[in-house]
Amino acid sequence: MSKETVLYVVIALLVGILGTVLVTGVANKQKTAPPAAGIPAGGGSPVDYQQRITEAEKIVAADPKNLQAWVQLGNDYFDTDQAKKAIDAYGKALELDPNNANVLTDQGIMFKRVGWFDRAIANFEKAQQLDPKHLQSLYNLGVIYMADLKQPAKAVKYWERYLELDPMSPNSQQIRLMLDEAKGMGQSSPPQGNVFSK
């Protein structure tokens, strides 16, 4: 195996690991908001998630305009890897509040998870239009272009913007590493084969 191939494999692993860590942070950050009435706050075991999902489903059945319950339901589906249900719950939340950059980003992550990259990009870009300083959507635009669409030059654009907005946080250090790797990939031709396959 050539040094270049090994480098690409290492890059793919790093992007995957960092993507999981940072992407998961969106759902966790939203959980700091006060829970909807009747929904227990905080994380927990799968039993807790199922209880929370059941409660949230009851709340939205009785009150379909309860934005916080839809968001919480989407977050719990997100955290339990039920992507299509999360997409639907976030969709209901977005019907009530179409300008919520966090919900757009979380739904975009779920679109990405099921392979709907165009829809994910559209959500992340809309989140950026609504809030040009929304770091999570910038990060995810970089990830989708780097890891999923194999377009490192586009990833560079988004990650450079991220660093303009947040040059000093611990996340920015990780973004710098991924940015350097993306720039390196853009300067050399990729190896034959799909080194980013799952």
Lowest mean pLDDT segment, chosen from 25-29, 83-87, 127-131, 146-150: 25-29
pLDDT: which is higher, 192 or 108: 108
pLDDT above 70 coverage of the chain, percent: 70
DSSP three-state, residue 110:
helix
Task: Say how far apart CA 174 and CA 98 lie, in whole Å.
Answer: 31
Residue-range domains of the chain with CATH: 1-30+131-198 (1.25.40)
Residue 135 to residue 107: CA distance in whole angstroms: 15
Phi and psi dihedrals of 127, rounded to 5? -60, -40
Whether the full predicted model's pTM is greater than 0.85, yes or no, is no
CB distance 93 to 103 below 8 Å? yes
- Is it the case that residue 75 has pLDDT exceeding 50? yes
**What ranges in 31-167 are assigned the alpha helix state H?**
46-62, 67-79, 83-96, 101-113, 117-130, 135-143, 152-165
Contact 111/119 with Cβ under 8 angstroms? yes
Identify the band that residue 114 occupies on the pLDDT scale cut at 50, 70 and 90: very high
Q: Which of 66, 90, 65 is nearest to 77 (CA)?
A: 90
Q: Residues 101, 127: contact at Cβ < 8 Å?
A: yes
Tokens of 117: 């990259």
